[in-house]
Amino acid sequence: MSAASQVQQRVAQIHRLANGMVLVGEPTRAVQSAALTLMVPCGYTTDPPDRLGLSSLLCDMILRGAGARDSRALINDLEILGVERGESVGASHTSFSAATVASNLDEGLAIYADIVRAPHFPEDQLDAGKLVCLQELRGVEDEPSQKLMVALRDRAYPSPWGRSSHGGEQGINDSRRADVTTQWSQGYRPNGAILGVAGNFDWQAIVDRVEAVFSDWKMVDATPTVELPSSTSDPHTSFDSNQCHIGIAFPSVPYRNPEYLRAWAAVGVLSGGMSSRLFTEVREKRGLCYTVSASLQTQRDRAQVLCYAGTSAERAQETLDVTHAEVVRLGAGVETGELNRLKARIKSGLIMQQESTSARSAAIARDWYHLGRVRPLEEVGGLVDDLTAEDINSYLADHPPGDFTFATLGPQPLDLPREIS
């Protein structure tokens, strides 16, 4: 059975508000839930250089009361509706997700309209908000693998695209309520905002509801991002431990590129499951490390494959050399058997996405941001079914892994491959 035939046909609907906000909906009667993903164009790349972490602080403060509700009432009302929620700050957007039973979608949507449009920003809760952000930041600092990947992204991407979403301790501590409100007034705007809704709902009813709660949201001119070169800091971070953490990055193609699926599949062969090359060659056969992985991280206009290995200090150099060699070897191509195993995992993912309204609302909002349209699941399934090893190998012949960026964290620096020069 093809991936396309396993996924029920659903048709996405699009509604553009006059203020620039876009509503993307995918209704289905096959479920009892509904979910929304609201993306507002205020990511960590918009933080002022002396206020790194401001968007993260804003994301916390915006939930401390909005509209007619104070902080406690806001959270209480969401809980009464049974809302499963989440918030995250990305490079270009802050995203709010909420899933609930379908009958509560309208009321939940109205609450989120208040959250992004009429937050209170209580002065007496600013310090508490800072403490939450600082705890998250210190959690990264205390986790060597995360600290290593922050350093790798900083070296691989041009600034500000390689920043940490958590910001910095000084930027958070120095932020005042006026900074938070300014960031909100500039970044929480309808032009550039995307609302994805998936699940059991009536399309025209949701259009009417969105128009009612968002149509008078005023547009704000966007500030262009000033791009600077990536960090040229030392690739090694000293860390007193008997472990070593290794990061390797190389450029790839972003989600909107027609070659993306081939690039993503190549990385899936490299790292995706216990039969992947990195797991088999670096961990299973040689026993060099306790974990090794690679993923394709895409932004709108750029992408990097980020590889990670965690190992003992004694085996760090060999782990780096072997991992790098496996990444380079990917350029020689993949085999049909490897692709078939990957396809099975992709098909499982498509089926699970169909059953999760939260996953689907996020996916359709992401599609709109990157592609300006929504790809039905059956279209994605068809593309997967049609993908061949020859397709991937053609891509790899034109885009072999190279132009590497390295980062290491451990007791001693390692000898890096010559590509770093």
Convert the pLDDT of each residue in 128-184 to its tens digit: 999 999 999 999 989 999 999 999 999 999 999 999 999 999 999 999 999 999 999
Of 151, 160, 134, 138, nearest in space to 48 by CA: 160
The pLDDT of residue 419: 55
Cα–Cα dist 200/38, whole Å: 17
CATH of the domain at 381: 3.30.830.10
Q: Are residues 289 and 354 in the same domain?
A: yes
Evaluate whether residue 165 is within a structural domain: yes
CA atoms within 13 A on the CB side of 288: 24
Q: Are residues 252 and 153 in the same domain?
A: no
Structure tokens given for 77: 């009302």
The pLDDT of residue 381: 87
Read off the pLDDT of each residue in 103-119 and give the average, rounded to a whole number.
Answer: 97
Q: Are residues 151 and 298 in the same domain?
A: no
Amino acid at 191: N
Is 70 exceeded by the pLDDT of residue 3? no
Average pLDDT, the chain: 93
Q: Are residues 157 and 287 in the same domain?
A: no
Structure tokens given for 190: 């309808």
Q: Are residues 196 and 86 in the same domain?
A: yes
Band of pLDDT at residue 353, cut at 50, 70 and 90: low
Q: Are residues 127 and 250 in the same domain?
A: no
Which residue carries 């709010």 as its tokens?
96
The pLDDT of residue 9: 60
Q: Are residues 283 and 403 in the same domain?
A: yes
The pLDDT of residue 280: 93
Q: Are residues 163 and 297 in the same domain?
A: no
Cα–Cα dist 39/112, whole Å: 11
Least confident of 121-125, 201-205, 345-349: 345-349
Is 50 exceeded by the pLDDT of residue 421? no
The pLDDT of residue 10: 76
Q: How many domains does the chain have?
A: 2
Domain interval for residue 276: 236-420
Evaluate whether residue 343 is within a structural domain: yes
Other residues' Cβ atoms within 10 Å of the Cβ of residue 352: 10
Q: Are residues 279 and 377 in the same domain?
A: yes
Cα–Cα dist 95/153, whole Å: 21
Of 327, 339, 325, 295, nearest in space to 399 by CA: 327
Q: Are residues 292 and 374 in the same domain?
A: yes
Cis bond upstream, residue 160 (ω within 30): yes
Q: Are residues 307 and 210 in the same domain?
A: no
Cα–Cα dist 307/102, whole Å: 40
Read off the pLDDT of each residue in 306-315 and give the average, rounded to a whole number.
Answer: 96
Burial class (CB in 10 A: 0-12, 13-18, 19+), 155: buried
Read off the pLDDT of each residue in 383-396 and give the average, rounded to a whole number.
Answer: 94
Q: Are residues 133 and 255 in the same domain?
A: no
The pLDDT of residue 380: 87
The pLDDT of residue 5: 45
Say what percent of the chain tops pLDDT 70: 96
The pLDDT of residue 345: 80
